[in-house]
Structure 1
Amino acid sequence: MEHITSTPTVKAPAERFTGDVYLNMIATPTEPARLAAALVRFTPGARTNWHSHALGQVLYITDGVGLVGTRDGGVVRVSAGETLMCPPGEEHWHGASDTTLMAHIALVVGDGNGDGTTWLEPVTDEQYESALADFR
């Protein structure tokens, strides 16, 4: 058994996120384990770039209100206590609303070559505003 009393909060890399996003790693896989878990906090308006996961991703919303969008134009509004499952290979993004922070626990099972995440281009302001408009 390993008891980890705390992990440092780090700012998420600007090349993968728009706005201020903060990470606390919960679990970093060590072979043979492949599960990575992190607490991710998005300030209002902050969001990920478009990305996909080879084996999918589970998001458990712990606080606030956020959005998750897919390439086909689908957008889901999420709030504390909800879980969202992103299937393998689906290009998506997630982040806070424009007025409320959002925090989630992100769970990803790696593919044997890292965490299986493919990072893509930023979500444009126009794409983000369009997603927000669906819930106004």
Structure 2
Amino acid sequence: MESSGNQQLIFAQGPQAPEAYFTGTAWIKLLVPAHDQLNVMINNVVFEPGARNNWHTHPGGQILLATDGVGCYQERGKPVQVLHKGDVVQILPDVEHWHGASAEAAFTHIAINTNTDRGIVEWLAPVTDEEYKTTH
């Protein structure tokens, strides 16, 4: 199965991500809902080129597994990291960050929210076009 960016998707594309928390078009497919005993929630996220989520934190931390395309990950005050298929990002609890596609390519990752008993996500301000452009 293919996405709009000619990526080979492992999982079906989910519903469109909420515009309140994303710039551009992205889709989120819930793979594993938050569970009291497992303390984990897993989503497959597909970003069109240029799409990204807002700055945010995860009270329990997060792990990103890049599965296709070219993406960006940035922690507040640090340089952007370019992500490719096979890259893994470990995000400690409460670290302010954003992630999304590069300007030229779509990007897909699996997002593993850990320690969900502490909370899932705290959404912050959108990543401005100026902030995003400095990553390229």
TM over 0.5: yes
| Aligned with residue 45 of structure 1, among 50, 58, 66 | 50
Matched, 1:81 2:98: no
C-alpha contact (below 8 Å) 1:7/1:26 kept by paired residues: no
Q: RMSD between aligned alpha carbons?
A: 1.6
Quote the residue 1:27 is aligned against: 32
Between the two proteins, the alignment pairs up a number of residues equal to 126
Contiguous gaps of at least 5 residues in structure 1: 1-5
Contiguous gaps of at least 5 residues in structure 2: 1-10
Matched, 1:122 2:126: yes
C-alpha contact (below 8 Å) 2:50/2:101 kept by paired residues: yes
**Within 5 Å, which residues of 2 pair with 1:1-136?**
9-112=14-117, 114-115=119-120, 117-132=121-136
Larger Rg: 1
Deviating beyond 4 angstroms after TM superposition, the runs of 4 or more aligned structure 1 residues are: none
Question: How has the CA–CA distance of structure 1 residues 32 and 7 changed in structure 2, closer, same or farther, with 3 Å as cutoff?
Answer: farther
Per-residue deviation, 1:88: 1.2
Per-residue deviation, 1:8: 6.8
C-alpha contact (below 8 Å) 1:18/1:122 kept by paired residues: yes
Report % sequence identity.
37
State TM-score, norm by structure 2: 0.87
State TM-score, norm by structure 1: 0.87
